[in-house]
Amino acid sequence: MTVDRIPVTLITGYLGAGKTTLLNALLANPGMAKVAVLINEFGDVGLDHDLIVESTEEMVLLESGCMCCAVRGDLTRAMSDLSERRRAGTAQFDRLVIETSGLADPGPILHTLLVESALAEAYRMDGVVTLADAAHGPATLDQGFEAVAQIAMADLIVVTKADLVTPAALAAFQRRLRGIAPTARQIVAERGQVAPGALFGLGLPKEDSAASGAEAWVNATSTPKPLPALTTFGSQHGLFGAAFTAAPVAARHDDRIRSVSATIDQPIHPGLFNIWIDTLIQLRGPDILRFKALIWLEGEDEPYAIHGVQHVFDPPVKLARAPGGDRKSRIVIIGRDLAEGVLEETLAFLNSPTTALR
Ligand SMILES: Nc1nc2c(ncn2[C@@H]2O[C@H](COP(=O)(O)OP(=O)(O)OP(=O)(O)O)[C@@H](O)[C@H]2O)c(=O)[nH]1
């Protein structure tokens, strides 16, 4: 059951983006109590040691009630230790925050988290928070693809160092970020000052959520409009309607990211959906940076929310309440290095006639 597992928030962002500043501000906040934090090395991240009141070799207890734990190369072991201690009652926490080092690709971390079966039983992915430095961010995004990928994977982008740029430069940077990660929420934080609540609960809608909330979570930024080629294809084959929005992004490394959103008008045959998602993961998994969907299946009264980061997909969550109105599925995929049309083609498969599967 998704609800019983410990939610994990990944804090990422390029070198110097302000991760430690954010973490220090969070740890000083009483609202962060009962949160365990995994960082690389205490020394490396320059955590504010005044906050630390008790220390063991690899774990410290902070005044706020948080625990802080250094990862020395083996994230899996550190996470298993933490969940063991929690089970044994020697560590009390309800959430885990992992701070990655500046260059780390969160993909393998999330993979570890959700594919190692012991860990997957104890933890679930809650969200990816990416810090984006308004002062150096534009140049960083131009220089390296890792920084662009970190933005594309985000559920929430915390824009830092806004005080160092003009309002116009900030607005242009935020527009660029929106182009790379159209489904991510953005907040601007001065020197790491954010309410802890803003960073949590970013992942899958809960079982008791209504479909309307999940729709906001999937949140395509623009109104989908039919692609002419697919509309023709659909009408030729008597398929039911799907509408697409494709958003290639301007400029250099950003061009490697493509996002596509689709609405599918009719409930989808479960067998077809399973084949589609398995094929998508097998063929395109490593190139999918984010996947979010609200899916209506044939014969079901409620929709499912599905969430993936790279080739790691959390189990679908069936939503309890479906407010009246349509039964349209919504899918957003953000991929890298995918030729134009590839994502649209895979989504068009969902509109195939389902008679062959019955
Ligand atoms: N002006 C300004 N400076 C900031 C802000 N946030 C962080 N900084 C400064 O930016 C520098 C880098 O911040 P860190 O928090 O160390 O960044 P980091 O992402 O942890 O860096 P690495 O661990 O090296 O990847 C520090 O000097 C911070 O004081 C902000 O909102 N405004």
Q: Which amino acid is at 4?
A: D
Residue 53 region, left (φ>0) first, then alpha (ψ -120 to 50), else beta?
Answer: alpha
What residue's CA is closest to ligand 1, atom 9?
18
Contacts with 268 (C-beta within 8 Å, 6 or more apart), sequence order: 295, 296, 297, 298, 329, 350
Q: What is the pLDDT of residue 177?
A: 95
- Please give all residues whose beta carbon lies within 6 A of any atom in ligand 1, as ranges: 13, 15-21, 45, 102, 160-161, 163-164, 190-192
Distances (CA, A) of 268 to 181, 272, 276, 305, 350: 27, 7, 11, 14, 7
What residue's CA is closest to ligand 1, atom 32?
161
Q: What is the pLDDT of residue 166?
A: 97
Element (H, E) at 307: strand 304-309
Estimate the crossing angle of helix 75-88 against helix 106-115, to 10 degrees.
40
Scanning 64-191, the segments in alpha helix (DSSP H) are 75-88, 106-115, 117-122, 137-143, 145-152, 167-180
**Backbone phi, psi, residue 255, to 5°:** -65, -20
Ligand 1, residues 15, 20, 37, 99: which to mutate, most atoms within 8 A of Cβ? 20
Distances (CA, A) of 16 to 22, 102, 103, 163, 331: 11, 7, 10, 15, 34
Q: What is the pLDDT of residue 165?
A: 96
Q: What is the pLDDT of residue 233?
A: 34
- Say whether 327 sits in a helix, a strand or coil: coil
Task: Report the nearest atom of ligand 1 relative to the CA of 14.
Answer: 25
Distance, in Å, from the CA atom of 100 to the CA atom of 192, rounded to the nearest integer, reads 16
Q: Which amino acid is at 264?
A: I
Ligand 1, residues 21, 26, 40, 48: which to mutate, most atoms within 8 A of Cβ? 21
Parallel, antiparallel, or unpaired for β 329-336 and 288-295? antiparallel
Q: What is the pLDDT of residue 64?
A: 58
Contacts with 118 (C-beta within 8 Å, 6 or more apart), sequence order: 80
Q: What is 2-199's CATH number?
A: 3.40.50.300
What residue's CA is closest to ligand 1, atom 21?
16
Task: Report the nearest atom of ligand 1 relative to the CA of 45.
Answer: 23
Task: Give the global pTM.
Answer: 0.78
Write down the domain spans for the chain.
Answer: 2-199, 211-357
Residue 298 alpha carbon to ligand 1 centre in Å:
50
Contacts with 294 (C-beta within 8 Å, 6 or more apart), sequence order: 211, 214, 215, 217, 218, 303, 304, 305, 329, 330, 331
CATH architecture of 211-357: 2-Layer Sandwich (3.30)
Q: What is the pLDDT of residue 235?
A: 35
Task: Report the nearest atom of ligand 1 relative to the CA of 44.
Answer: 23
What residue's CA is closest to ligand 1, atom 10?
18
Distance, in Å, from the CA atom of 68 to the CA atom of 74, rounded to the nearest integer, reads 15
Sort 268 into a burial class: Cβ within 10 Å, 0-12 / 13-18 / 19+. Answer: buried
Residue where the block lists tokens 């395109």: 284
Copy the structure tokens of residue 222.
Answer: 């623009």
Q: What is the pLDDT of residue 339?
A: 76
What residue's CA is closest to ligand 1, atom 2?
161
Q: What is the pLDDT of residue 106?
A: 64
What residue's CA is closest to ligand 1, atom 1?
161
Scanning the chain, the segments in alpha helix (DSSP H) are 19-27, 42-45, 75-88, 106-115, 117-122, 137-143, 145-152, 167-180, 196-199, 211-218, 228-236, 270-284, 342-349
Asked if 15 and 133 touch (Cβ cutoff 8 Å), the reply is no
Residue where the block lists tokens 């969550």: 317
DSSP secondary structure code for residue 50 in this structure: G
In angstroms, the first-to-last Cα distance of the chain is 30
Q: Which amino acid is at 42?
A: F
Residue 259 alpha carbon to ligand 1 centre in Å:
30
Q: What is the pLDDT of residue 57?
A: 46
Distance, in Å, from the CA atom of 71 to the CA atom of 78, rounded to the nearest integer, reads 6
- Could you report the predicted ipTM of this complex, rounded to two decimals? 0.98
One pLDDT digit (tens) per residue for the chain, 358 residues: 444 788 888 888 888 899 888 988 888 787 777 888 887 655 555 555 454 444 344 565 555 566 666 665 567 777 888 888 888 888 888 888 888 765 556 666 666 666 677 788 888 888 889 999 999 999 989 887 888 888 988 999 999 999 999 999 999 999 999 989 888 899 999 999 998 888 888 876 777 777 776 777 776 454 443 333 333 333 333 333 445 555 544 446 777 888 888 888 889 989 888 888 888 888 777 788 888 888 999 988 889 988 887 767 777 888 876 666 678 888 888 888 877 777 777 777 777 655 444 4
Distance, in Å, from the CA atom of 192 to the CA atom of 182, rounded to the nearest integer, reads 23
- Say whether 146 sits in a helix, a strand or coil: helix
Q: Which amino acid is at 232?
A: T
